[in-house]
Amino acid sequence: MAPMAVVEDPSVNKRKRDVDEHGKRKRAKRDRRSINATQTDEQPPQDTTTSQPNGSEIASENPEDMAVTIAKSDSLAKKKKRRSRPKREKHEEDRISTWAVSKPMGGRIMNIDPILTDDEKHLILAYNTSIQVYSAADSLLLRKIPLQPLIRDGGGQIVSVRLSLSSPNFVWVASSTGYIWLIDWTNSDGSEKDPFKLNCGILCDMTVERMSIGKDFGDVPFVSIENKGNWQIVVCDVRDSRLRSTKALLSQEVPVLDLQSVRNGYAIVGSVERNIMLGTLRPRLVNSIQDLDYEFITLDCNDAITCLDVRAADRIHLNKKSQAQAGDEPVVDIVVGCARGAVLFYNDLLPHIRWASSSKGHRSSLQPRKYHWHRKAVHAVKWSRDGNYIVSGGSESTLVLWQLDTQKMDFLPHLSATIENIIVSKRGSAYGLHLDDNSVIVLSTAEMKPTTYVSGIQTLTFPQPLSKDNIVRRVGRFTPIRLLKTLTAINPTDSSRIHFCVGNGQQISYSGSGPSTPLIQTLDLTTLQGVSKQALTRTNPTDVNTTAKGYAITEPRITGMAYSADGKWLATTDEWQPPTRDINSLAGSSAERREVYLKFWAVSPDDQSLELISRINAPHHTGWSEPIYGLAADPRAHRFATIGEDGVARLWEPTVRQRDGVLVKGKLGRQLHSWGCSRAIYLQENEEPIDLDAMAVKSVLRGSGAISFSEDGSTLACAIGTVHGSTIHVVDTESGKIRNSINGLITGEIRDVRILSSSLVVLSDRLVVYDLVSDELLYGVQLRVNDDPGNPGASILTHMAVDYRTSTFAVAVSPAKLDSPHIRSELAIFSPDHSEPEMIQKFPCPITSVVASVSSSGYLVLDAVAQLWSISESMDTKSLAFAQPLADLSLDQVEVESHEDRSLALLNGGDDGDAASGDEMDLDIPGEAAAEDSAYPVVVPSQRLAELFDTAPAFAMPPIEDMFYQVTKLFSTNSATPAS
């Protein structure tokens, strides 16, 4: 369909005609290059074409003999599989090699007990493929220890980390693939060596005990592994960092979890579904591992076990009779957390077991004490050091202390997320809590006040992590599998921080009818630590958040977020809709009760905190609240734009508050503002009325749309999809008139639309670049195949970001089905003038957000496992040290990808199996200009040093090594002022 153009006033188009002349000269050069490139091909392809705007053509889609379809205005180039590439020009090869991908930063803390060292000065946390050491005094990262076999092989993850009992400077680390390391966490010694590997399929848990084997007295690991279909408890003989021998102590058909040991291997405890597996060491002379022998006993708890803890204490004899009966056998106490919320306490278990197995005994002597407060599963339980308290936690976000003597309970409520793990320090003076929102907090036992807090990226992960609450089937626990985009923004005035929309932990966010993200988290890119978290909508993380029928109450979800150009204002949109099950007895649909809000926040210049200034209820209203498709900020003024399902684009601007003609000021003397709609642009005035059948379809199917400003704020691009089709409208922001309406550029759902220079970039099921000045299509790239919805390469999530510094845009595609075991992503960087991407990078996990950097060229990429990647031009010196890990600049080495295979398989919906494992691009850093820097001594202005040292208070400053690198970078950059 041809574009619908609106006749404009010639006086208004004087500047446009000047730009047209420049565009014609620019296109003539591009046409000459395309003709030369076409002549190098063997023959032009002969395919059926469809009519497109201005006579341009797009080749017909045929996935069987096409890898990527690229359509241009004057020539048609189609690349087939296994076809030899034409030689590129030398300057184009140089342009492609200028992009570099950083190492992944951040990640999720594993669901493993943290380690607090004996002196309580260091905190050791396990991530997916690395161990990180933090300072307990200031919560800063001291050391990151990557485990190369897990990074190189992929697929495995850390399942257990234990502090060595023989040498406190060492930790034992076990992975699910059977690797075991002995690492010195003070200097990373041992991580570079090849670990020893057990002959097993899966390793699920490990515990380490200090035992006497012959004349040696050292650490002995006990592991729970799967070997040839059987699950075994295996003891390992490790000497001089080498595995000497192993012995299987127990073999069964069910895995043993929560493996723990006490008193130099005197007892081993684990959980097997709803049973406790207790093994006691038979007294005999042990000269080798093969002499170890345990007697195992099974106890039925009548409920699924989710966690347990064991302690051994010296037996105190009150009289000679008790001493004669029990001897010096230690007292073994076990506490168990169950899936239905009960806490079971077994006191002095071994004598009771012998009494029950004797002829005089009875099974009632093995009945535990039962405590019940948790509504759902107990996620973690631990003994206090003195044995007087039991500490437990779960999805209620409350720490519970059970006092055994008085039967009283103490609570620490309103934590930020579900408690997943609890540790007690060796001195007993601190509790460590691992929370579900990717954070760890250390509390003093005396005052219950936090002394250490480590917070990482708290965005929603995919796939949804397993929850102990789901062991028991409950009402309303089914949540559909959804991979959603993570809203991300960077304040233009503060490039050292990035803002994410997050929820109250993974379990609470995924409960209800869908994922909810009511909070905004601020992350410091220099330390990769969370700075603050603030609610933008209503939340109920720790109150009674279930209905009378047991369903979880759904929280609102933020659907849009944008900062103003000067960083003083933040606009957000949020939406909430009641589940259908809650309104079955009421008249009307769920959409009639939808709540949509547009909020404007004033950003504090001191700490970037937000203050709500205005809230617009139902900004797009047609009898009920219509959803908002897009939100954009004017890069030149205090103005925002929204587009909704009502087919109206609205401009929002602030006005100074007045009362009786007098300006109203706040408490600090600052003028108060009110935001309101300054202009409404109706995009569907000429469309035919929708009949009743179309209305029924519209109530079920949700449309799509996007909106964006040009770089100077004079033009607004509005893309809207309705039952009649999808159209892009180009609007003059000053007059509010529609200057041009373009059809035929959108296929499927509208994902995003941007204006880059004179080009309009449209992202839907295909990527299209359109020249607004010449009114012609430049090129298009097919991103997914619509004809075959069962195609494993169908795209499920796409993103786009624009970098105005480099005049490029990045497109991320995640091609796979949601039930696929491995969903990978591919990111490509394009230029409006070149259909060939400048860079193609494969990522091992789905990409959930792409945002352009503010202070430097390039992009920041967030994946579904909370890892942050930096993509920048190697020529930009400001971006080389941007968002790098703190203590060591050479951490997390990732293999480099070759440029030879630059296929767009993922962009066209290739097979999942062809995806790589996230290898990085080659890094090409030119060094010819280094000699010119030493011609003059460098003088750094004091303001630059003040910006560096005044970014954070003293307790939150980066390590001294990182500060050293940043200071030396100031003196070595070309932007410094030479001394006169």
The CA distance from 280 to 286, in Å, is 14
d(CA 501, CA 522): 9
Position 900 scores a pLDDT of 36
How do residues 555-589 score in pLDDT, each as one tens digit?
888 999 999 999 999 999 999 888 877 777 777 77
| Local confidence band at 829 (pLDDT 50, 70, 90 cut-offs) | very high
Residues sharing a CB contact under 8 Å with residue 197, sequence separation 6 or more, in sequence order = 177, 178, 179, 180
Cα–Cα distance for residue pair 767/921, rounded to 1 Å:
23
* pLDDT surpasses 70 at 787: no
Residue 338 burial (10 A CB sphere; 0-12, 13-18, 19+): buried
Coil/strand/helix, residue 694:
helix
Closest to 255 measured CA to CA, from 229, 294, 222, 293? 229
Residue 466 binned pLDDT confidence (cut-offs 50, 70, 90): confident
Quick one: what percent of the chain has pLDDT higher than 90? 40
Q: How far is C-alpha 576 from the geometric centre of its chain's CA atoms?
A: 23
The enclosing H or E element of 943 equals helix 942-949
Contact predicate 258/378, CB 8 Å: no
Q: How far apart are CA 233 and CA 255, in angstroms?
A: 9
User: What pLDDT is stored for residue 763 in this prediction?
Assistant: 92
Indicate the burial class of 320 (C-beta count within 10 angstroms; 0-12, 13-18, 19 or more).
exposed
Exposure letters 274-306 (e unless 16+ CB within 10 A, then b): ebbbbbbbeeeebeebeebebeeeebebebbbb
Strands, sheet with 419-424, edge to edge from the N-terminal-most edge strand: 419-424, 430-435, 439-444, 450-455
Residues 754 and 769: their CA atoms lie apart, in Å, by 10
Q: Place 698 in a pLDDT band, splitting at 50, 70 and 90.
A: very low
Q: Which residues of 75-113 are buried (b: 16+ CB within 10 A; e: fewer)?
A: bbbbbeeeeeeeeeeeeeeebbbbbbbbbbbbbbbbbbb
Range of lowest pLDDT (314-318, 369-373, 433-437, 636-640)? 314-318
pTM for the whole structure: 0.78
pLDDT value at residue 59: 35
pLDDT bucket at 721, cuts 50 / 70 / 90: confident
pLDDT at 895: 40
Whether omega before 463 lies within 30 degrees of 0, making that bond cis, reads yes
* CA separation for the pair 823, 217 (Å, rounded): 47
Q: What was the pLDDT predicted at 556? A: 86
Q: How far apart are CA 835 and CA 515, in angstroms?
A: 37
State the residue for tokens 């005197």. 266
Percent of the chain residues topping a pLDDT of 70 = 73
**Is 92's pLDDT higher than 70?**
no
Partners of 862 in beta bridges: 849, 868
Average pLDDT over residues 595-607: 91
- Cβ neighbours for 494, distance < 8 A, ≥ 6 positions apart: 567, 608
Q: What's the mean pLDDT in 621-650? A: 91
Note whether 145 and 128 are within 8 A (CB): no
User: How confident is the model over 905-956, as pLDDT tens digits?
Assistant: 445 544 444 433 333 333 343 444 444 444 445 566 666 777 777 666 655 5
Task: Look up tokens 């320090």; give the residue.
Answer: 425
- Tokens (6 digits) for 180: 């075991």
Residues 6+ apart with CB under 8 A from 880: 872, 874, 925
With b meaning 16 or more CB within 10 Å and e meaning fewer, what string describes 13-51?
eeeeeeeeeebeeebeebeeebeebeeeeeeeeeeeeee
Rounded alpha-carbon distances, angstroms, from residue 389 to 174, 335, 402, 618: 30, 11, 5, 52
Quick check: 270 pLDDT over 90? yes
Say yes or no to pLDDT of 550 above 90: no
pLDDT above 50 (res 692)? no
What is the spatial distance between Cα 655 and Cα 652, in angstroms, rounded to a whole number?
10
CA dihedral 25, 26, 32, 38 (to 10 degrees): -150
Tens of pLDDT along 867-901?
999 998 865 545 534 444 444 444 333 343 333 34
pLDDT digit string, tens, across residues 118-160: 999 999 999 988 899 999 998 888 899 988 888 777 668 899 9
Q: What is the chain's mean pLDDT, rounded?
A: 78
Asked whether the predicted pLDDT for residue 904 surpasses 60, the reply is no
Query: Residue 684: pLDDT above 60?
Result: yes
How many Cβ atoms from other residues are within 10 Å of residue 361's Cβ?
14
| The two three-digit tokens of residue 779, written as one number | 């090129």
Residue type, 85: R
Q: What is the dihedral of CA 244, 250, 251, 256, to 10 degrees?
A: -100
How do residues 839-863 score in pLDDT, each as one tens digit? Answer: 999 998 889 999 999 888 889 999 9
Say whether pLDDT at 682 is over 70: yes
Per-residue pLDDT at 361: 61
Two tokens at 789?
A: 């919805």
- Contact yes or no for 773/756 (Cβ under 8 A): no
The CA distances from residue 270 to 259, 267, 330, 384, 801, in Å, are 4, 10, 19, 19, 50
